[in-house]
Amino acid sequence: MISIVVCHRDTQLLQNFKKNVEETIGIPFEFVIIDNKANDYNIFQAYNLGIERSKFDIVCFSHEDIIYHTADWGKKVVVHFKDERTGMIGIIGGNVFPNCPSPWWNSSYLNDHLINNIQHWKEGFEPKNDPNKKPFQGKDNVTVDYHNPTKEHKVKAVALDGLWMCAHKRALKNCSFDEETFNGFHCYDTDICLQVGQTHEIYVIYDILMEHLSMGTVAKDWAESAELLADKWKHRLPVFAKEVEQDKIPRYNNECLLTYCYWIKGMGLSDQKIRSIILKYLEPKNKFVSQEGLLLWLWSKLGYQNARFPYRVLKPLI
């Protein structure tokens, strides 16, 4: 009843994953393993191949470094898809997405970080003083992450994290992982969600718990994909899966863009390149609606270093 598609890179992880699935899923299923140890495919190609080879109506796209903690989780997946309006489900995501390059976990000013997960962290990246996280089994670098703003068993989302997401083939009828626009291993999850979200509902669910043994990275290759994503969907962004006050949207977009610019500055992109990105994504009408917009505008005109002093002088006026 469920086809589990894995873009496979690590033999030991896959063996452990298979054993765990067999012990916990609770319904008929198949593994569709796309062997990518030789890096023959990008993630878009691998997942399209997985869909092509799958025989069941529900397709689960999963990383192989996952441990399921919920017994009979497959039965719960099937129940979620009984509602024919449901196109995709996941365990992590966001319910607002801006009009600029950004991840699903962007600004919490409007976007809720919808999370139900046991997460392993790299040393030094463990979250501090976050009420939504608590140590898992006493381990400092492993936390139970839970944030559900509605306390329902599922919350509408616009984007899911690709570590685990399931789709029904009724929602994939006119959708596919976009091999033409993208090449690599980033933004496949947000892009397919933006496609499916045009015809079906997307949810983060809270009745299946799993453990993720690694954390992702945000580097230059991610930034390149994030810009491709923003350009592809500029006619539709921003998007919302909840009620949002319209007068807050410009500040939200500015805040996300400023965060992105700080990230790519840290990645070593030149100030000239960042200034061109600001000019591309900052809406002129919104440059003075928030302090973030003011800093972005000054940055685009003067460069980051030269913008800092006038920003300190002018920001109390915004």
pTM (predicted TM-score) = 0.95
Percentage of the chain lying above the pLDDT 90 cut: 91
Task: Give every CB contact of residue 91 below 8 A, 6+ residues apart in sequence.
Answer: 115, 116, 117, 161, 163, 164, 204, 205, 208, 209, 210
Residues 222, 90: one domain? yes
Does residue 110 sit in the same domain as residue 204? Answer: yes
Q: Calculate the CA dihedral of residues 75, 76, 78, 84 and round it to 10 degrees.
A: 160
Q: Are residues 196 and 261 in the same domain?
A: no
- Asked if 292 and 256 touch (Cβ cutoff 8 Å), the reply is no
The letter for the amino acid at 285 is K
Cα 190 to Cα 88, 90, 137, 179: the distances in Å are: 12, 12, 32, 14
- With respect to residue 207, please indicate whether it lies within any of the assigned structural domains: yes
Kindly state whether residues 212 and 313 are assigned to the same domain: no
Please indicate, yes or no, whether residues 162 and 209 belong to a single structural domain of this protein.
yes
**Does residue 10 fall inside a structural domain?**
yes
Alpha helices (runs of H) in 25-90, residue ranges in sequence order: 43-53, 73-80
Whether residue 276 is found in the same domain as residue 170? no
Cα radius of gyration rounded to whole Å, the chain: 20
The pLDDT value given to residue 239: 98
Tokens (6 digits) for 218: 């945000």
In a domain, 239, yes or no: no
Phi-psi region of 50 (alpha: psi -120 to 50; beta: other; left: phi over 0): alpha
pLDDT at residue 123 in the model: 81
Question: Among all chains, which residue has been given the structure tokens 């626009």?
Answer: 181
Per-residue pLDDT reduced to its tens digit, 210-255: 999 998 888 999 999 999 999 999 999 999 999 999 999 999 999 9
152 and 265: one domain? no
Q: For 109-134, how does the pLDDT look when each residue is reduced to its tens digit (9 = 90+)?
A: 999 999 999 999 988 788 777 888 88
Average pLDDT for residues 280-291, to the nearest whole number? Answer: 95
- Cα(229)–Cα(234) distance, integer angstroms: 8
Cα gap 220→14, rounded to integer Å: 28
Instruction: List the domain range (segments joined by +) for residue 268.
Output: 245-317
Q: Give the CATH number, domain containing residue 117.
A: 3.90.550.10
In a domain, residue 238? The reply is no
* DSSP state letter for 39: -
Residue 39 has a pLDDT of 94
